[in-house]
Amino acid sequence: MHGMHARLPKHFVLEERLERYRDVIEPDPYHWRGHWASACAPAGATPFREVRLDLGCGKGSFTVEAARREPDVLFVGMDSEPVCIAYAAQRAVESGLPNVVFVPGTGMRIREMFAEGELGRIYLNFPTPFPRKRESHLRLVNLERLMDYRHVLAPGAEVCLRTDSLPLREFALTQWELAGYCQTWRSDDARAERPELPTSEYELRLSAQGAKVFALFGTPGEPAPKDPRQTAEMSLACYIPQDLSAFDDYAPHGMQATVQNLRNRAARTGGDWSHGITRYR
Protein backbone atom coordinates (compact mmCIF):
# COMPACT_ATOMS: atom_id res chain seq x y z
CA MET A 1 0.00 0.00 0.00
CA HIS A 2 3.00 2.25 0.14
CA GLY A 3 3.01 2.88 -3.59
CA MET A 4 6.62 1.76 -4.04
CA HIS A 5 6.66 -1.73 -5.53
CA ALA A 6 9.13 -4.31 -4.30
CA ARG A 7 11.93 -5.17 -6.74
CA LEU A 8 11.87 -8.92 -7.28
CA PRO A 9 14.93 -11.17 -7.30
CA LYS A 10 15.69 -12.86 -10.61
CA HIS A 11 14.33 -16.26 -9.59
CA PHE A 12 11.45 -15.09 -7.40
CA VAL A 13 8.33 -17.21 -7.97
CA LEU A 14 5.37 -15.69 -6.13
CA GLU A 15 3.20 -18.81 -5.95
CA GLU A 16 6.09 -20.88 -4.59
CA ARG A 17 6.85 -18.29 -1.92
CA LEU A 18 3.24 -18.04 -0.80
CA GLU A 19 3.03 -21.82 -0.55
CA ARG A 20 6.32 -22.11 1.35
CA TYR A 21 5.25 -19.64 4.03
CA ARG A 22 1.54 -20.43 4.10
CA ASP A 23 1.59 -21.30 7.82
CA VAL A 24 1.53 -17.57 8.67
CA ILE A 25 -0.80 -16.48 5.86
CA GLU A 26 -4.56 -16.53 6.46
CA PRO A 27 -6.37 -16.73 3.10
CA ASP A 28 -9.86 -16.53 4.65
CA PRO A 29 -9.67 -13.87 7.37
CA TYR A 30 -13.47 -13.45 7.46
CA HIS A 31 -13.77 -16.90 8.99
CA TRP A 32 -12.08 -15.75 12.20
CA ARG A 33 -14.18 -12.68 12.87
CA GLY A 34 -14.57 -12.36 16.63
CA HIS A 35 -12.14 -15.22 17.37
CA TRP A 36 -8.72 -13.98 16.31
CA ALA A 37 -7.20 -13.91 19.81
CA SER A 38 -8.08 -17.52 20.57
CA ALA A 39 -7.92 -19.06 17.08
CA CYS A 40 -4.37 -17.83 16.44
CA ALA A 41 -2.99 -18.74 19.85
CA PRO A 42 -0.59 -21.72 19.92
CA ALA A 43 -2.20 -25.05 20.85
CA GLY A 44 -2.80 -25.24 24.58
CA ALA A 45 -1.91 -21.57 25.15
CA THR A 46 -4.20 -18.89 26.53
CA PRO A 47 -5.72 -16.47 24.00
CA PHE A 48 -3.73 -13.38 23.16
CA ARG A 49 -4.62 -10.44 25.41
CA GLU A 50 -5.08 -8.11 22.44
CA VAL A 51 -5.29 -8.07 18.64
CA ARG A 52 -3.73 -5.28 16.59
CA LEU A 53 -3.89 -4.60 12.85
CA ASP A 54 -0.99 -3.27 10.77
CA LEU A 55 -2.97 -2.04 7.76
CA GLY A 56 -0.72 -1.69 4.72
CA CYS A 57 2.08 -3.68 6.33
CA GLY A 58 4.39 -3.80 3.30
CA LYS A 59 7.16 -6.38 3.75
CA GLY A 60 6.23 -6.84 7.39
CA SER A 61 9.34 -5.54 9.14
CA PHE A 62 7.32 -3.23 11.43
CA THR A 63 4.76 -5.95 12.13
CA VAL A 64 7.34 -8.58 13.05
CA GLU A 65 9.41 -6.22 15.20
CA ALA A 66 6.28 -5.07 17.06
CA ALA A 67 5.29 -8.71 17.59
CA ARG A 68 8.74 -9.51 18.97
CA ARG A 69 8.40 -6.76 21.57
CA GLU A 70 4.94 -7.80 22.78
CA PRO A 71 4.63 -11.60 22.68
CA ASP A 72 1.19 -11.65 24.33
CA VAL A 73 -0.35 -9.50 21.56
CA LEU A 74 -1.45 -10.90 18.18
CA PHE A 75 -0.33 -8.74 15.26
CA VAL A 76 -2.26 -9.08 12.01
CA GLY A 77 -0.47 -7.58 9.01
CA MET A 78 -2.55 -6.76 5.94
CA ASP A 79 -1.45 -5.65 2.49
CA SER A 80 -2.99 -5.61 -0.97
CA GLU A 81 0.25 -6.60 -2.74
CA PRO A 82 0.77 -10.41 -2.85
CA VAL A 83 4.52 -9.87 -3.22
CA CYS A 84 4.57 -7.94 0.05
CA ILE A 85 2.58 -10.69 1.77
CA ALA A 86 5.12 -13.25 0.54
CA TYR A 87 8.06 -11.26 1.90
CA ALA A 88 6.27 -10.51 5.18
CA ALA A 89 5.36 -14.15 5.68
CA GLN A 90 8.95 -15.21 5.08
CA ARG A 91 10.13 -12.71 7.67
CA ALA A 92 7.59 -14.00 10.19
CA VAL A 93 8.49 -17.67 9.65
CA GLU A 94 12.20 -16.97 9.94
CA SER A 95 11.61 -15.00 13.15
CA GLY A 96 9.91 -17.99 14.78
CA LEU A 97 7.35 -15.72 16.42
CA PRO A 98 3.95 -17.31 17.11
CA ASN A 99 2.04 -14.03 17.45
CA VAL A 100 2.03 -12.69 13.91
CA VAL A 101 -0.13 -13.55 10.90
CA PHE A 102 -0.57 -11.93 7.49
CA VAL A 103 -3.68 -11.55 5.36
CA PRO A 104 -4.23 -10.20 1.84
CA GLY A 105 -6.58 -7.25 1.54
CA THR A 106 -7.10 -3.50 1.47
CA GLY A 107 -9.13 -3.12 4.66
CA MET A 108 -12.22 -2.02 2.73
CA ARG A 109 -14.17 -4.85 4.39
CA ILE A 110 -12.64 -4.49 7.83
CA ARG A 111 -16.01 -4.76 9.58
CA GLU A 112 -16.51 -8.18 8.01
CA MET A 113 -13.07 -9.29 9.14
CA PHE A 114 -13.12 -8.16 12.77
CA ALA A 115 -15.94 -8.08 15.29
CA GLU A 116 -17.06 -5.01 17.19
CA GLY A 117 -14.38 -3.98 19.67
CA GLU A 118 -11.99 -6.75 18.60
CA LEU A 119 -8.96 -4.57 17.78
CA GLY A 120 -6.76 -2.89 20.35
CA ARG A 121 -4.93 -0.72 17.81
CA ILE A 122 -4.72 0.00 14.09
CA TYR A 123 -1.38 1.03 12.61
CA LEU A 124 -1.29 3.07 9.40
CA ASN A 125 2.41 3.21 8.61
CA PHE A 126 3.22 5.28 5.51
CA PRO A 127 -0.02 4.53 3.65
CA THR A 128 -0.24 5.39 -0.03
CA PRO A 129 -1.33 9.07 -0.10
CA PHE A 130 -3.43 8.97 -3.30
CA PRO A 131 -2.98 12.74 -3.72
CA ARG A 132 -5.62 13.40 -6.39
CA LYS A 133 -9.26 14.03 -5.50
CA ARG A 134 -10.56 11.24 -7.71
CA GLU A 135 -8.57 8.67 -5.71
CA SER A 136 -9.25 10.11 -2.27
CA HIS A 137 -11.75 7.34 -1.43
CA LEU A 138 -8.79 4.95 -1.33
CA ARG A 139 -6.99 6.77 1.50
CA LEU A 140 -6.80 4.84 4.74
CA VAL A 141 -7.55 8.02 6.70
CA ASN A 142 -10.67 9.23 4.93
CA LEU A 143 -13.93 9.73 6.81
CA GLU A 144 -15.54 6.50 5.66
CA ARG A 145 -12.56 4.43 6.77
CA LEU A 146 -12.36 6.15 10.15
CA MET A 147 -16.04 5.42 10.75
CA ASP A 148 -15.42 1.76 9.93
CA TYR A 149 -12.51 1.66 12.36
CA ARG A 150 -14.84 2.88 15.09
CA HIS A 151 -16.79 -0.39 14.91
CA VAL A 152 -13.82 -2.72 15.26
CA LEU A 153 -11.79 -0.77 17.84
CA ALA A 154 -12.08 -1.53 21.53
CA PRO A 155 -12.93 1.39 23.86
CA GLY A 156 -9.92 3.69 24.10
CA ALA A 157 -8.07 1.96 21.25
CA GLU A 158 -5.96 4.09 18.91
CA VAL A 159 -5.54 4.62 15.21
CA CYS A 160 -1.86 5.42 14.66
CA LEU A 161 -0.88 7.25 11.46
CA ARG A 162 2.75 7.83 10.53
CA THR A 163 3.62 9.30 7.14
CA ASP A 164 6.28 11.17 5.21
CA SER A 165 3.53 13.36 3.74
CA LEU A 166 2.67 16.57 5.57
CA PRO A 167 -0.33 17.13 3.24
CA LEU A 168 -1.71 13.68 4.10
CA ARG A 169 -1.30 14.34 7.82
CA GLU A 170 -3.04 17.70 7.48
CA PHE A 171 -5.87 16.06 5.51
CA ALA A 172 -6.11 13.40 8.22
CA LEU A 173 -6.63 16.13 10.81
CA THR A 174 -9.79 17.23 8.99
CA GLN A 175 -11.02 13.64 8.88
CA TRP A 176 -10.24 13.08 12.57
CA GLU A 177 -12.54 15.99 13.39
CA LEU A 178 -15.34 14.87 11.07
CA ALA A 179 -15.23 11.31 12.45
CA GLY A 180 -15.18 12.51 16.05
CA TYR A 181 -11.69 11.28 16.94
CA CYS A 182 -9.68 12.73 19.82
CA GLN A 183 -6.00 13.39 19.18
CA THR A 184 -3.68 11.51 21.50
CA TRP A 185 -0.41 12.43 19.79
CA ARG A 186 0.59 14.73 16.94
CA SER A 187 4.16 15.24 15.79
CA ASP A 188 6.13 16.91 13.02
CA ASP A 189 9.13 14.68 13.76
CA ALA A 190 7.90 11.41 15.20
CA ARG A 191 11.23 9.61 14.95
CA ALA A 192 12.95 12.29 17.04
CA GLU A 193 10.17 12.36 19.64
CA ARG A 194 9.65 8.61 19.90
CA PRO A 195 12.80 6.87 18.65
CA GLU A 196 11.77 3.67 20.41
CA LEU A 197 8.94 2.97 17.95
CA PRO A 198 9.55 0.00 15.64
CA THR A 199 10.72 1.01 12.20
CA SER A 200 10.59 -0.59 8.77
CA GLU A 201 12.76 -0.86 5.68
CA TYR A 202 10.42 1.55 3.94
CA GLU A 203 10.80 4.19 6.65
CA LEU A 204 14.57 3.82 6.65
CA ARG A 205 14.62 4.25 2.87
CA LEU A 206 12.57 7.45 3.04
CA SER A 207 14.62 8.79 5.96
CA ALA A 208 17.78 8.28 3.94
CA GLN A 209 16.21 10.49 1.26
CA GLY A 210 15.63 13.26 3.81
CA ALA A 211 12.07 12.53 4.93
CA LYS A 212 10.71 13.44 8.34
CA VAL A 213 7.99 11.33 9.87
CA PHE A 214 4.72 13.09 10.63
CA ALA A 215 2.42 11.40 13.12
CA LEU A 216 -1.20 11.62 14.15
CA PHE A 217 -2.60 9.22 16.74
CA GLY A 218 -6.19 9.31 17.89
CA THR A 219 -8.99 7.42 19.53
CA PRO A 220 -12.70 7.58 18.66
CA GLY A 221 -14.56 10.01 20.90
CA GLU A 222 -18.05 9.43 22.20
CA PRO A 223 -20.71 9.74 21.10
CA ALA A 224 -20.01 8.89 17.48
CA PRO A 225 -21.21 11.41 14.88
CA LYS A 226 -24.73 10.45 13.84
CA ASP A 227 -24.58 11.59 10.24
CA PRO A 228 -21.02 12.64 9.36
CA ARG A 229 -20.66 14.50 6.05
CA GLN A 230 -17.51 15.09 4.07
CA THR A 231 -16.74 18.83 4.03
CA ALA A 232 -12.95 18.84 3.56
CA GLU A 233 -10.96 19.60 0.44
CA MET A 234 -10.12 16.21 -1.07
CA SER A 235 -7.06 17.03 -3.18
CA LEU A 236 -3.86 16.81 -1.14
CA ALA A 237 -2.51 19.72 -3.17
CA CYS A 238 -4.85 21.90 -1.08
CA TYR A 239 -2.80 20.99 2.00
CA ILE A 240 0.58 21.98 0.63
CA PRO A 241 1.94 25.00 2.55
CA GLN A 242 2.03 28.28 0.65
CA ASP A 243 5.72 28.46 1.54
CA LEU A 244 7.15 25.69 -0.63
CA SER A 245 10.48 25.91 1.17
CA ALA A 246 9.03 23.30 3.52
CA PHE A 247 9.82 20.84 0.72
CA ASP A 248 13.33 22.06 -0.13
CA ASP A 249 14.98 18.96 1.31
CA TYR A 250 12.27 16.40 0.64
CA ALA A 251 8.97 16.23 -1.23
CA PRO A 252 6.49 13.58 -0.08
CA HIS A 253 6.47 10.37 -2.04
CA GLY A 254 3.82 10.55 -4.75
CA MET A 255 3.73 14.36 -4.72
CA GLN A 256 7.14 15.26 -6.14
CA ALA A 257 5.76 16.23 -9.55
CA THR A 258 2.99 18.30 -7.99
CA VAL A 259 5.44 20.20 -5.79
CA GLN A 260 7.72 20.90 -8.76
CA ASN A 261 4.80 22.10 -10.87
CA LEU A 262 3.75 24.47 -8.08
CA ARG A 263 7.31 25.76 -7.81
CA ASN A 264 7.24 26.53 -11.53
CA ARG A 265 3.87 28.27 -11.19
CA ALA A 266 5.15 30.29 -8.22
CA ALA A 267 8.17 31.37 -10.25
CA ARG A 268 5.88 32.65 -13.00
CA THR A 269 3.44 34.42 -10.67
CA GLY A 270 5.86 36.00 -8.25
CA GLY A 271 5.41 33.42 -5.51
CA ASP A 272 1.65 32.85 -5.50
CA TRP A 273 0.64 29.47 -6.89
CA SER A 274 -2.69 29.03 -5.03
CA HIS A 275 -4.91 30.38 -7.80
CA GLY A 276 -3.92 27.42 -9.97
CA ILE A 277 -4.63 24.74 -7.41
CA THR A 278 -7.73 23.43 -9.17
CA ARG A 279 -5.48 21.88 -11.78
CA TYR A 280 -4.36 19.28 -9.23
CA ARG A 281 -7.79 18.27 -8.00
Q: What is the pLDDT of residue 3?
A: 46
Residue 277 has pLDDT above 60, yes or no: no
Residue 17 has pLDDT above 50, yes or no: yes
Residue 154 has pLDDT above 50, yes or no: yes
Q: What is the pLDDT of residue 4?
A: 44
The residue count of the chain comes to 281
| 173-217 pLDDT, tens digit each | 999 999 999 999 999 999 999 999 999 889 999 999 999 999 999
Whole-number Å distance between alpha carbons of 32 and 47: 13
Region 229-255: mean pLDDT is 90
Q: What is the pLDDT of residue 21?
A: 96
Q: What is the pLDDT of residue 266?
A: 81
Q: What is the pLDDT of residue 44?
A: 93
Q: Which residues contact 221 (CB under 8 A, 6 or more apart)?
A: 180, 181, 182
Q: What is the pLDDT of residue 214?
A: 97
Portion of the chain with pLDDT greater than 90, in percent: 80
Q: What is the pLDDT of residue 258?
A: 86
- The pTM for the full model equals 0.92
Residue 109 has pLDDT above 90, yes or no: yes
Q: What is the pLDDT of residue 1?
A: 52
Q: What is the pLDDT of residue 88?
A: 97
Question: What does pLDDT average to over the chain?
Answer: 92
Whole-number Å distance between alpha carbons of 20 and 152: 31
Region 42-70: mean pLDDT is 97
